[in-house]
């Protein structure tokens, strides 16, 4: 119990334990530093000023820390959301973008209340592994522009930053290694006068807090028609990434989160962000990994402080933050990408033991995400692929065996397995309609009927026997199968 009060009225861990407090505060500071260049970059993608993305990161993090369902997860402006709503901004302006963010928040609250989080149970492990690995690849790919066509001094600085993050924890873990790396590289570049790209080169930092207000758009049906498709797309992409990230953090921390609360919380955070003029957002996997996996944070305090420190750094320490070399932040994100990637999943021993279908699902998920730069698309395509693989595998588990009565007057067919659209297609062809005796018994005591396709297949079998003057009796149906069969049998084909 990290943030909730313990039994007996004791304080939360981060208030009663100085060690937890230190971890959460320093983790929030590291994440805030990493958020600044990312938020600015996402602002460029969306076609808005850097302050819009920074405001979104501030309001999303602070709000979700209170209303979210997953402790220590970071929500802020993201590339996925920027890609979705960027075209709306370019075509209709910032007012429509902000209005779409607010409407997306409303959609997320409705979807959350309807239980959309429960759909996460249909995401198989192979898709989850592909999601994690593709995330690591995207995080690394996002750093490539910062390592291309830059002064030669950038490369030894990145190497030094990585070395610090690898070896400093062996000395002490009191201070997060990423924070030490950022501080040391900043001092080196400023002290030695090394000219390398800095955070300030990404854009001007805001000098004041955001001001609340309604979007500058006409409140008409035409405006709603314009923003609704973008808002719905943003809501779905945001929920997908947030719920998948929450599931990942659940596994890393060995704790459970409230996915429904997280869904509704994302909606509330986006509404607050829109009313404060931000570009909206969702869970950020890279920064969440910095917070949870690298820095060891476990409570809502780190999430709240990440947003609070972000504004403090921009408004109060803007000139200092502007001098941080991008090489320091690139080193942090490269370390995050390597720490996030599931190296065990591609080990030769693992690949030899894994079913080919599982490997294919993982590869397809990674390929779709890397090709589209959209985690949500990869998860959807991967999940559909997994369902097809599963259906093909289960379809072959349905079997039919026959035993003829010694007197030759009746044949008994025993059907075993799961009968659904994939397996039932082969069912009709496994009976000897011409050679069987006049009485046919189909025993389904070891089978289960799942859908209308299976009922239709049984009807077709009965029809084929009836045309030859033979009678069919179906027995052994369990209660759900019998109910479905009774309701649909004879009703699935039009009469003559």
3-state secondary structure of 442: strand
DSSP H stretches of helix in 290-373? 300-315, 318-322, 326-340, 348-353, 356-372
Structural tokens at position 204 = 């001007």
Q: What is the pLDDT of residue 37?
A: 82
The answer to whether 82 and 42 have CB atoms below 8 angstroms apart is yes
Q: What is the pLDDT of residue 244?
A: 86
pLDDT per position in the chain (496 positions), as tens?
344 444 444 566 666 678 888 999 999 999 998 888 888 878 877 888 888 999 999 999 999 999 999 999 999 998 778 878 888 998 999 999 999 999 999 999 999 999 988 887 788 889 888 988 987 888 788 888 889 999 999 999 999 999 999 999 889 877 778 888 989 999 999 999 999 999 888 878 888 888 999 999 999 999 999 999 999 989 988 998 899 899 989 989 999 999 999 999 999 999 999 999 999 999 998 889 889 988 889 999 999 999 999 999 999 988 888 898 999 988 888 887 888 788 989 999 889 988 899 999 999 999 998 898 777 788 889 999 998 888 777 767 678 998 887 776 899 999 998 898 888 877 888 899 998 999 999 999 999 999 999 999 999 999 999 999 999 999 999 999 999 999 998 877 654 4
Structural tokens at position 488 = 């649909």
Cα distances (angstroms) measured from residue 51 to each of 48, 211, 276, 330: 8, 12, 11, 21
3-state secondary structure of 402: strand
401 Rama class: left (phi>0) / alpha (psi -120 to 50) / beta: beta
What is the H or E stretch that residue 444 is in? strand 439-449
DSSP H stretches of helix in 172-294? 177-192, 221-253, 259-275, 285-289
Cα distances (angstroms) measured from residue 231 to each of 55, 80, 82, 101, 202: 19, 13, 12, 6, 28
Adjacent-strand bridge partners of 471: 439
CA angle, residues 136, 137, 139, in degrees to nearest 5: 65
Q: Shortest CA distance to 85 belongs to which of 224, 217, 234?
A: 234
Cα distances (angstroms) measured from residue 106 to each of 11, 88, 284: 34, 18, 20
Phi/psi for 473 (5° steps) reads: -125, 125
Q: What is the pLDDT of residue 5?
A: 44
Structural tokens at position 73 = 């997860």
Q: What is the pLDDT of residue 496?
A: 44
Q: Shortest CA distance to 106 belongs to which of 200, 286, 234, 279?
A: 234
Structural tokens at position 330 = 């690139």
Q: What is the pLDDT of residue 18?
A: 82
| Dihedral angle, C-alpha 277, 282, 285, 288, nearest 10 ° | 70
Q: What is the pLDDT of residue 361?
A: 94
b/e map of 236-272 (b: 16 or more CB within 10 Å)?
bbbbbbbbbbbbbbeeebeeebebbbbbbbbbbbbbb
Burial class (CB in 10 A: 0-12, 13-18, 19+), 359: middle
pTM: 0.73
CA distance 275 to 212: 5
DSSP H stretches of helix in 341-404? 348-353, 356-372, 375-395
Q: Could you count the other beta carbons within 10 Å of the beta carbon of residue 403?
A: 12
Phi/psi for 36 (5° steps) reads: -60, -55
Cα distances (angstroms) measured from residue 139 to each of 3, 294, 459: 29, 15, 54
Please, which residues have CB within 8 angstroms of residue 440's CB and are 6 or more apart in sequence?
410, 411, 413, 431, 465, 470, 471, 472, 473
3-state secondary structure of 414: strand
Side-chain-side CA neighbours of residue 378 (13 Å): 30
């Amino acid at each position: 119990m990290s943030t909730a009060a313990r039994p007996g009225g004791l304080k939360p861990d981060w208030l009663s334990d100085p060690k937890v407090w230190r971890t959460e505060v320093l983790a929030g500071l590291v994440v805030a530093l990493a958020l600044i260049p990312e938020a600015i970059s996402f602002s460029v993608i969306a076609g808005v000023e850097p302050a819009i993305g920074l405001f979104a990161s501030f309001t999303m993090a602070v709000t979700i820390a209170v209303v979210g369902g997953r402790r220590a997860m970071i929500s802020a402006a993201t590339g996925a959301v920027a890609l979705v709503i960027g075209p709306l901004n370019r075509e209709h302006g910032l007012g429509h973008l902000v209005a779409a963010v607010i409407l997306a928040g409303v959609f997320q609250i409705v979807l959350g209340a309807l239980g959309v989080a429960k759909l996460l149970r249909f995401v198989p492990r192979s898709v989850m592994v592909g999601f994690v690995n593709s995330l690591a690849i995207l995080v690394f790919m996002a750093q490539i522009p910062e390592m291309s066509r830059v002064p030669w001094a950038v490369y030894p600085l990145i190497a030094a930053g990585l070395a610090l993050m690898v070896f400093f924890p062996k000395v002490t873990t009191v201070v997060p290694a990423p924070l030490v790396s950022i501080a040391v590289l900043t001092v080196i570049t400023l002290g030695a006068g090394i000219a390398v790209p800095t955070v300030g080169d990404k854009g001007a930092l805001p000098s004041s807090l955001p001001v609340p207000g309604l979007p500058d758009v006409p409140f008409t049906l035409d405006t709603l028609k314009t923003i609704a498709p973008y808002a719905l797309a943003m809501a779905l992409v945001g929920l997908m990434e947030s719920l998948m990230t929450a599931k990942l953090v659940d596994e890393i921390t060995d704790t459970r989160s409230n996915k429904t609360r997280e869904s509704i919380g994302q909606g509330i955070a986006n509404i607050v962000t829109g009313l404060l003029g931000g570009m909206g957002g969702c869970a950020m996997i890279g920064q969440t990994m910095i917070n949870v996996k690298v820095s060891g944070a476990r409570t809502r305090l780190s999430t709240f402080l990440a947003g609070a420190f972000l504004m403090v750094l921009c408004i109060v320490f803007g000139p200092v933050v502007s001098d941080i070399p991008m090489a320091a932040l690139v080193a942090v994100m490269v370390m995050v990408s390597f720490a996030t990637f599931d190296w065990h999943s591609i080990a030769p021993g693992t690949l030899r033991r894994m079913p080919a279908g599982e490997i294919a699902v993982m590869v397809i998920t990674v390929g779709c995400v890397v090709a589209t730069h959209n985690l949500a698309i990869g998860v959807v395509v991967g999940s559909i692929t997994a369902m097809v693989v599963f259906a093909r595998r289960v379809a072959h588990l349905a079997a039919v065996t026959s035993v003829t009565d010694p007197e030759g007057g009746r044949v008994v067919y025993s059907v075993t397995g799961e009968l659904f659209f994939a397996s039932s297609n082969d069912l009709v062809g496994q009976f000897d309609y011409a050679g069987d005796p006049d009485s046919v018994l189909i025993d389904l005591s070891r089978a289960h009927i799942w859908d209308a396709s299976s009922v239709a297949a049984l009807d077709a079998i009965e029809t084929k026997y009836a045309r030859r003057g033979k009678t069919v009796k179906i027995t052994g149906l369990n209660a759900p199968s019998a109910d479905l069969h009774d309701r649909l049998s004879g009703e699935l084909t039009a009469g003559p």
